[in-house]
Each structure stands twice: as structure tokens, then as C-alpha cells.
Structure 1
Amino acid sequence: MTTWKGSDLEQIGAAEELDLQSERADGTLRDPVTMWVVRAGDHVYVRSVKGPDGPWYRAMQSRHQGRIEAGGVQQEVTFREADPGEYADVDAAYRDKYGRYTSIVEHVLTDRARASTLRLERR
């Protein structure tokens, strides 16, 4: 696992949204998907509101890598499934960062969404 540089971690964590492009089996990038991103500790996470059935999440399964852009940072990443032990910290990060969107944030706090929690690691 490659750790994030301090400034990149701060910028991505502070960004309101992240653009994620997963790689196809042939290595080309899919169109970007815009989503919420949170920082918990020294890690960056995303979740699919639709859980593992979400289209972008299913597409990510072919290679588990891609590119993100957020807060002025563009980075090649590996998508790692988060351990269930990380879910509570990620939940807290979503509540803290996006709690003002009460009716929306609850959608990323369901068991279905938790099952799609991905830790984004620098490549």
C-alpha cells in the first residue's frame, strides 16, 4: 500500500466531490463518475449508494484500479475493499462532512452502501 502525501490527502479529503474513472479490462478508462469522498485517518474512501449493485462499482471489479480527481489532485489509484472494521470511522466521516444533506447522507450509511466501501490507495 502506498500512502498519500500530506497535501494530497488534505486536498482530497476537503473536496466536496471526487471524479472516479475505473479501468476497463483492456486498461482504458471509463467515463468519470462524480461522487462523495471522505477521509478517515490517513485513508480516503468512497461508497456506492446502490451498494455492490451500483453500475460504477460493478465496472470497477474488472481491474480494481483507475484514476481519481478531487481538490485539484489527479492520481492513479487502486480500489481496495475496506475491512468492516473501518466502516464506523467511514460512517462518522460521511456524517461529519455531508450531514447538512440529511435526507441524502443516510443513503451512504445503509448496510448495502457499507458493503461497497472502497479505500483508495495511490499507485
Structure 2
Amino acid sequence: MTLTTTQQETFAQADDFHIAPYRADGTTPGTLTWIWSVVVDGDLYVRAWNGQQSRWYNAAKDQGAGKIMIAGNEYTVAFELVPVTGHEALQDEIDDAYRTKYAGSQYMPPMIADGPRNATVRVILK
């Protein structure tokens, strides 16, 4: 489902994104994990701080779906991995969104490094 204009604006400003990919049974959400999120070209993206070794990233990759909480609301979502190769321009836009939204944070520079870039996920509302 495409984000509404209101959702795009709200999600772009929100700093309370929690992700819970489904467990192996495909229906039980895992533990909600607080992570950073950005909106680029109307789509919601997240990255794993620990890159492809992140537990939530691997669950999102394996299950392809789960729950999120953002801006005080819970959503059922699908997860789509965004590879770096072939998507360099999009990855650069996501980098810019992280730089803008999290400017001044000591944790921002690592989020635009190779590890997290290789663990970029598009979050799609169902």
C-alpha cells in the first residue's frame, strides 16, 4: 500500500519507529526493536545498525513481513530488501535522508556506512 501524504509527512518526522518481523511461524511478531527510519520518494526505509548480522534484519529477510509501530500507531507490513548494487542512486538518497533527519547525532555516520547500506529495507504497509 502506498503511503498517504499525511503518513509520509508524519513518518518523516517521527522518531519512534519500532520493528517486529514475524517469528519463524509467520504470524507471531518478534520483540519490538527501536530503530531509525526515513522517508524517501514517498517510501519508508530502515537500516540495520549491525548490517546483515542484525537479528531483526535477518528475520525481516526470512519472513518478509511483520509489525511496526510509528507515530503511535501499529501497522502490519511487508519488508523488501534494497540491494546496493543496481540501486546506488536510491541508496544515496536514503543516505541524504539519514543525514538530514539525524544530523548532529554521533550515530548517524555509521548508518551511511557499507554495513547498514547493505541492510536497507523498504517497509510497505499492508
Instruction: Please report the TM-score for the alignment, with normalisation by the length of structure 2.
Output: 0.89
State whether residues 61 and 81 of structure 2, in contact with CA within 8 Å, keep that contact through their aligned partners in structure 1.
no
Instruction: Give the length in aligned residue pairs.
Output: 121
Matched, 1:46 2:46: yes
Residue 99 of structure 1 corresponds to 103
Q: After superposition, what is the alpha-carbon deviation per residue over 1:27-76, rounded to whole angstroms, capped at 9, x for unaligned?
A: 10111000111111101100001101112112223311011111123211
Deviation at 1:79, TM superposition (A): 0.6
State whether residues 52 and 116 of structure 1, in contact with CA within 8 Å, keep that contact through their aligned partners in structure 2.
yes
2:66 partner amino acid: G
Q: How does 1:24-103 map onto structure 2 within 5 Å?
A: 24-26=23-25, 27-84=27-84, 85=87, 86-101=90-105, 103=106
State whether residues 23 and 29 of structure 2, in contact with CA within 8 Å, keep that contact through their aligned partners in structure 1.
yes
Q: Which runs of 5+ in 2 are unaligned?
A: none
1:47 partner amino acid: R
Percent identity at matched positions?
26
CA distance, structure 2, for counterparts of residue 49 and residue 93 of structure 1: 16
Instruction: Please report the TM-score for the alignment, with normalisation by the length of structure 1.
Output: 0.92
CA distance, structure 2, for counterparts of residue 40 and residue 67 of structure 1: 20
State whether residues 51 and 112 of structure 1, in contact with CA within 8 Å, keep that contact through their aligned partners in structure 2.
yes
SS at match of 1:62: helix
How large is the Cα RMSD of the aligned pairs?
1.2
Q: Which runs of 5+ in 1 are unaligned?
A: none
Matched, 1:122 2:125: yes
4+ long deviations beyond 4 Å: none
